[in-house]
Amino acid sequence: MKNYFSSNFKLGVLGGGQLGKMLLTETQKFDIYTCILDATYEAPCAQICNEFHLGDLMDFDTVYNFGKKVNLLTIEIEHVNIEALQKLEEEGLEIYPQPSVLKTIQHKGKQKDFFVKNNIPTSPHKRFTSLDQLKKETLAFPFVWKSAQFGYDGTGVKIVKNQNDLNSLTNTDCIVEDLIPFKNELAVIVARNKNGETKTYPVVEMEFHPEANQVEYVICPARISENVAQKARNIALKVANSFEHIGLLAVEMFQTKDDEIIVNEVAPRTHNSGHYSIEASYTSQFEQHLRSILNLPLGNTDSKVAGIMVNLVGEEGFSGNVVYQNIEEILKMDGVTPHIYGKKQTRPFRKMGHVTIVNNDLSEARKIAENVKNTIRVISK
Amino acid sequence: MKNYFSSNFKLGVLGGGQLGKMLLTETQKFDIYTCILDATYEAPCAQICNEFHLGDLMDFDTVYNFGKKVNLLTIEIEHVNIEALQKLEEEGLEIYPQPSVLKTIQHKGKQKDFFVKNNIPTSPHKRFTSLDQLKKETLAFPFVWKSAQFGYDGTGVKIVKNQNDLNSLTNTDCIVEDLIPFKNELAVIVARNKNGETKTYPVVEMEFHPEANQVEYVICPARISENVAQKARNIALKVANSFEHIGLLAVEMFQTKDDEIIVNEVAPRTHNSGHYSIEASYTSQFEQHLRSILNLPLGNTDSKVAGIMVNLVGEEGFSGNVVYQNIEEILKMDGVTPHIYGKKQTRPFRKMGHVTIVNNDLSEARKIAENVKNTIRVISK
């Protein structure tokens, strides 16, 4: 094994956002020297990593030159220059997840084709190179439209119900999927290292607001049967093994009305759906990502206690210097931990932090989570 | 409440060692801007705080000038210039723990006098201004000798069994205590905020090596009766309330042969005996210290699971660039988390890190802890 701990080994990370910041907690714990590349000095990681490099993650030279300074490279965001990664890999740099995997996942069309080719259950889809091409096709409403690249947090995804919706879409490379009615939206995080060792985390469930159709709570464990949970974990594992993925892979899935599991999409990194693991799991997803990419033994993915995660997003109507109103009220509640990402400016719907609620009793945690959600407000002063 | 989160509030910390580093994990989580003062750029905190200041913690001007740059000041080591803190406090700076408390605790003679004055059970003691003065007294062997100031990790403490031992002592301000035979060495961490809200952590037990008389394991919960545990927590709470302490206070105690609890000494800060809390508790001691000094509501001190802590100290016969031999072996074990403090050079007995073992079953954790202890070695290359 290489000596990563208090050594001259340098880990490079593309991206310095909140996922990078929570990874730094783990590199600090293990004293692994970490270099971050991000486009802004305002990035949450900028002041707390060993070395911060300023630059555009989509620029070939910037990514290539950064890669030459480190001993192993990983990502906290998948929108990076893959050509630079491929050249670095050819020149011998270890990069996890592998550039070839990132390339497939970066493009939702290629990602879907990969699922089909590897017999991974997913909703039927068609690929189009532009909206114009799509419009020539006769498609039955409703359907799901996804921009092939650069969508995040629900941007680049639309349910198209009629001709009007169709006309509002961006003219870009895209895919169209059947709209599958589902009971539950689930996710499973898989860790896989170079030795091929794998571990799956328990299934989490996204609970939606009954009217707004927005995820309100990420709940672990999902309130589903053991049978369905096992099926979901097996399918997630199959996805990771099919990619021969190294690192963390978050697999988003639907549980259909007849209890089938179909894969929606994957993210090749630590994921919002795994934030609960910091407080609830024996091994947090961030530590597990490190273990995976460094080919260390994987940690126990079981939970110590039930966990629920609530995102802290900027409230509508507020822009400017952020204030976390009533944060002291939620700190009074049992088992409540706010994570503040360090973005100084709030904007409507901007992800500013999250709150984890842990408890021995999931239904008690669920009550406290609702109380948290109704109490804290992300506003500006 | 003041706005601490993603704001221009600046928290100052005197000392940049491992306790400061683990505190930074929490200030990062809450995005509280943190300035550290330490005498060396090699300090574990140096690269990962918002602002690092180089300087001597015992120097009046250095501490005073640092204090003028921050909005609230705390410590991670108690050997600091108290006069500078007193001047800063007079000028309106909030400093927690309070300089007056630090002054009493810094001096073991004053600390013992404080216990006696406040009816806190402790072993009988006498104070001497020098070894020469002590030698004029007729004392029955054996007794415990403690240097009044600047002892740490067992330095400055000796069991004096005969005239030879007496002659080997340093000629300094000191105290002499009766040697009390004890069943168990216990510790309780108390948190207290400005509102006077208090919480005690569960009692931990130090398990000693049967021959070497060194602490091998810190075990939470202590394997003692509920009755004794409650007595220990009550006495610890009484100590914190007597000081009107603000911040964390670690109270080290002995359980005597007849199940009395007597206080050995206190530390006005986060403590080695609370490291288990990072993985085992609902609220880690480091988050709790922040909550206390910022007058935020205190968090739940209960444990999610049982926890055992093993210190990683430099092995005898090794000095130089540190290597954590077999660290990958301990990472295979269930519920095992190494914390590497980031000191690049090992020396015999230097505290280089610690390992926490958590498990639902304390006796299972104890077995794994022994396996950890027998596996990992802190050596040099």
Asked if residue B218 and residue B340 are part of one domain, the reply reads yes
Q: Which has more confidence, A39 or B150? A: A39
Tokens of A51: 């070395």
Q: Give the CA angle between residues A265, A271, A275 to the nearest 5°.
A: 140
> Is residue A31 one of the residues assigned to a domain?
yes
- pLDDT average, residue stretch B248-256: 98
Query: What are the backbone angles phi and psi of residue A190, rounded to the nearest 5°?
Result: -115, 135
pLDDT at site A152: 61
pLDDT reported for residue A121: 97
Q: Give the three-class secondary structure for B352.
A: strand
Q: Between A1, A5, A328, which is nearest B1 by CB?
A: A328
Rounded-to-integer distance, Cα B341 and Cα B18, Å: 6
Which residue of chain A has the CA closest to B197? A332
What per-residue confidence (pLDDT) applies to B260?
A: 97
Q: Locate B219 and state its tokens.
A: 């075990």
Number of structural domains in chain B: 3
Report the mean per-residue pLDDT for chain B: 95
Q: For residue B132, what is the domain's CATH number?
A: 3.30.1490.20
Q: Hey, are the CB atoms on A291 and B48 less than 8 Å from each other?
A: no
Structural domain harbouring B136: 124-178
| Of the ranges A88-92, B123-127, B130-134, B165-169, the best mean pLDDT one | A88-92
Q: Which residues contact B176 (CB under 8 A, 6 or more apart)?
A: B125, B126, B128, B134, B139, B143, B144, B145, B146, B160
- Tell me the per-residue pLDDT of B187-202, one tens digit each, with 9 for 90 and over: 999 999 999 999 999 9
By CA distance, what is B356's nearest residue in A? A282
What pLDDT is recorded for position B46? 96
- List, as residue ranges, the binding site of A for ATP: 108, 146, 177-180, 185, 264-265
Q: Are strands A174-178 and A182-192 parallel, antiparallel or unpaired?
A: unpaired
What CATH number does the domain containing B33 carry?
3.40.50.20
Q: Could you tell me which of B115, B140, B121, B124 has the C-alpha nearest to residue B175?
A: B124
Is the domain of A188 the same as that of A284? Answer: yes
Q: Rounded to an integer, what distance in angstroms lies between the CA atom of residue B171 and that of residue A19?
A: 55
Identity of the residue numbered B2: K
Give long-range contacts, CB 8 A cutoff, 24+ apart: B2-5.
B2/B294, B3/A323, B3/A324, B3/A381, B4/B30, B4/B32, B4/B294, B5/A324, B5/A327, B5/A338, B5/A340, B5/B30, B5/B31, B5/B32
pLDDT at A156: 83
Q: Tell me if B164 is assigned to some domain.
A: yes
Interface test with A, best of B6, B18, B321 (most A CBs within 10 A): B6
Q: What is the pLDDT of residue A139?
A: 85
A137 and A191 share one domain = no
Q: What is the C-alpha to C-alpha distance for residues B8 and A344, in angstroms, rounded to an integer?
A: 10
End of a domain among B95, B116, B135?
Answer: B95
- Read off the CATH number of the domain in which B229 is found: 3.30.470.20
Closest CA to A4 of A72, A62, A90: A72
- Residue B351: CB partners within 8 Å, gap ≥ 6? B18, B153, B311, B312, B313, B341
Is B179 marked as a binding-site residue? yes
B152 and B190 part of one domain:
no
User: Nearest Cβ partner of A340 from B5, B44, B341?
Assistant: B5
**pLDDT of B213 above 80:** no
Mean pLDDT by 10 residues, chain A (381 residues): 91 98 98 98 96 98 98 96 98 98 95 97 94 88 90 76 90 91 96 98 93 87 98 98 98 97 97 98 98 98 98 96 97 98 95 97 98 97 88
B59-85 pLDDT, tens per residue? Answer: 999 999 999 999 999 999 999 999 999
Interface mutation target, options B3, B9, B28, B332, chain A, most CBs of A under 10 Å: B28
Q: How far apart are CA B66 and CA B342, in angstroms?
A: 24
Question: A6: distance to nearest CA of chain B, Å?
Answer: 6
- The CA distance from B369 to B308, in Å, is 7
Q: In terms of domains, do A229 and A373 share one?
A: yes
